[in-house]
Structure 1
Amino acid sequence: MNEVRNALGGSGTGSIQGVLFDIDDTLVDLRAAAIAAFLELTTEELGHVDEAGANAVAAAFADDKAGAYERYMAGELTFLEQREMRLRHSFGLVNAEPPAGEQYQSWAAIYEKTVRSYWRPFDDVTPHLEQLRAMGIPFGAVSNNLESYQRAKLEIAGLPGFDVVVGSDTAGAPKPAAAPFLAGCKGLGSRPEQTLYVGDNPVNDYAGARNAGLPAVLLDRGSVHQDFSGIRIRDLWVLAAIPFT
């Protein structure tokens, strides 16, 4: 905690006047939702593998081991195409036959409805946002997905009241480009150097925010970035103990 406090306080930023968050796996536990929805819909197709195998396949889908989402962000794939690529890759791990064509279109529609039913915030999110509200600090979200889709995600997850939500479509570029971060600052009415950014990706979130002039912390909930040399926290409870103003 002292490391975070000293880094933010000693960076020449003065007080933090606004906070921007990534959404997926920072505020909303998207990985858990994706795994649960995937397993619910693939019981028959994965019937030939044991529980551990099915969980591994679901994790490969949720973690995008196919590398499809970056291709979606680059404009090479549509949203549904990147999801289909992930599905094919994960099924291929256990020699299962994925749905294709119209069957995939039907599967994708059911999956979307199902995964939305599992969208939940992490336990530390609501208390932290309530603390920011009580302190009068505006907060928003900057995400590499469509703004309308991410706004719906926040609402469904029970996280309303964001002062600004910026999507890669409305910003004109995805993170780690500076445009989404600066759009978030503009929406909050705060200067970049006084706007803290919190996200779970070392490149898209931490480096992108820092390069745009924002102080940033990496939220590493699973401790998967042990060699990360920047400011890293395990949860939002750490930030709750820091006097922002």
Structure 2
Amino acid sequence: MRELSNTFDSTTRLGGGIEGVLFDIDDTLVDLRSAAIDAFLAIVSDLLEEVTSEHLRLIAEDFADDGAGAYERYMAGEVTFLGQRQLRLNRAFELVDHKPLSEQSYIRWTEDYESLVKDSWKPFNDVLPHLAALSSWGIPYGAVSNNVEAYQRMKLERAGLPGFRVVIGSDTAGAPKPDPAPFLAGCSQLQTAPGRTLYVGDNPINDIQGAENAGLIGIFVDRESIHAAQSAFTVSDLGQLTTLIGQYIDS
């Protein structure tokens, strides 16, 4: 992890210099991957009875990780939100040589999936303590996401994270990350200067490069330690970020 002192001392003067924090939502605040895997397995197990549990787990992970690359097509306007999910499901079935669902069956499947995945949305264990620490320091926070704002607000509420006054979606910003627009919209609504605003996310390009190109300070959350060192500050969890911010605020 890169030393924080140089950048924080020179650009934010951390003792009172951080004006706000913006977060990515999916797999930064909310454990979307686990929710997607659990919901997928709950629905397809009966459809794919001949597939071993180990293989089912692998295709569930591929579905959750979007091995089809479908979400980027959704962000580019090539397919609908439900269309990108169908592409991911079709790929999962192809991986086990199973024919895709009919359109009518897919509609029923996605209704069941949506209900289950919403019930499975939960924040990572480090999220609530970190947000409480920001509140205690008087640092406002919000979220910037590559999904529809209304859906993401609902996700935060269902996950037990209702305190987000500022939520920017790709629809309300007019462009998805890594375009600067959503990051700057978040700063505008938080009423913070980009150079004194942290952006915390788990995607090296959409979150970190995008935030830094917009003038924010990127904080890369690498929970599984699977990425090479980033240009941004890298932390393994939000508890580590809490400690680092606290050291400078209290200094």
TM bucket by the smaller chain? over 0.9
Determine the structure 2 residue equivalent to 1:153: 155
Structure 2 residue 72 is matched with structure 1 residue 73: no
Distance in 2 (CA, whole Å) between partners of 1:125 and 1:8 is: 24
**Alignment match, 1:26:** 28
Q: Number of matched residues?
A: 244
Which residue identity lines up with residue 207 of structure 1 in the other structure?
Q
Paired with 2:126 and 2:133, the residues of 1 have a C-alpha distance of: 11
Q: Which amino acid aligns with 2:118?
A: R
Residues 210 and 229 (structure 1), Cα distance of their counterparts in 2 relative to 1, 3 Å cut = closer
Aligned to 1:120: 122
Amino acid at match of 2:158: I
Letter in 2 for 1:67: G
**Aligned mates of 2:231, 2:123 — CA distance in 1:** 27
| Residues 66 and 89 in structure 1, CA contact (< 8 A), matched pair in contact too | yes
Q: Aligned to 1:12, what secondary structure does the other structure show? A: helix
Report the CA distance between 1:100 and its aligned residue: 2.2
- Contact kept, 8 Å, 1:163 with 1:187, in 2: the verdict is no
Distance in 1 (CA, whole Å) between partners of 2:98 and 2:61 is: 15
Any unmatched runs of 5+ in structure 1? none
Q: Which residue of 2 aligns with 1:9?
A: 8
Which aligned pairs between 1:91-110 and structure 2 lie closer than 5 A? 91-110=93-112
**Runs of 4+, deviation exceeding 4 Å:** none
Contact 2:222–2:234, Cα closer than 8 Å, also in 1: yes
Q: What is the RMSD computed on CA atoms of the aligned residues?
A: 1.3
Structure 2: distance between partners of 1:11 and 1:237: 24
CA contact (8 A) 1:45 1:96 kept: no
After superposition, the C-alpha distances for 1:76-108 in whole angstroms (9 at most, x for unaligned) are 000000000000001111112232211111111
* Residue 205 of structure 1: aligned partner: 207
Aligned to 1:173: 175
Q: 1:215 to 1:46 in 2, by over 3 A?
A: same
TM-score, normalised to structure 2's length? Answer: 0.94
Give the Cα separation in 2 of the matches to 1:30 and 1:164: 20
Partner-residue secondary structure (3-state), 1:19 = strand
Q: Which moved more, 1:138-147 or 1:234-243?
A: 234-243
Supply the distance in 1 between the matched residues of 2:131 and 2:138 (Cα, whole angstroms): 11
CA distance in 2, matches of 1:100, 1:79: 18
What one-letter code is carried by the residue in structure 1 that aligns with 2:217? P
| Greater fraction helix | 2
Please tell me the residue identity of whatever aligns with 2:162. Answer: P
Unmatched runs of 5 consecutive residues or more in structure 2: none
Corresponding residue of 2:189 = 187
Give me the whole-angstrom Cα distance separating, in 2, the residues matched to 1:236 and 1:182: 23
Counterpart CA distance in 2 for 1:93 and 1:7 is 48
Q: Using the TM superposition, give the Cα deviation of residue 7 of structure 1 relative to its aligned residue in structure 2, in angstroms.
A: 4.7
- Aligned partners of 1:45 and 1:97 also within 8 Å: no
**Secondary structure in structure 1 of the residue aligned to 2:48:** coil
How far, CA to CA, are the matches of 2:204 and 2:171 in structure 1? 21
Task: Verify the 8 A CA contact 2:4 2:233 in the aligned structure 1.
Answer: no
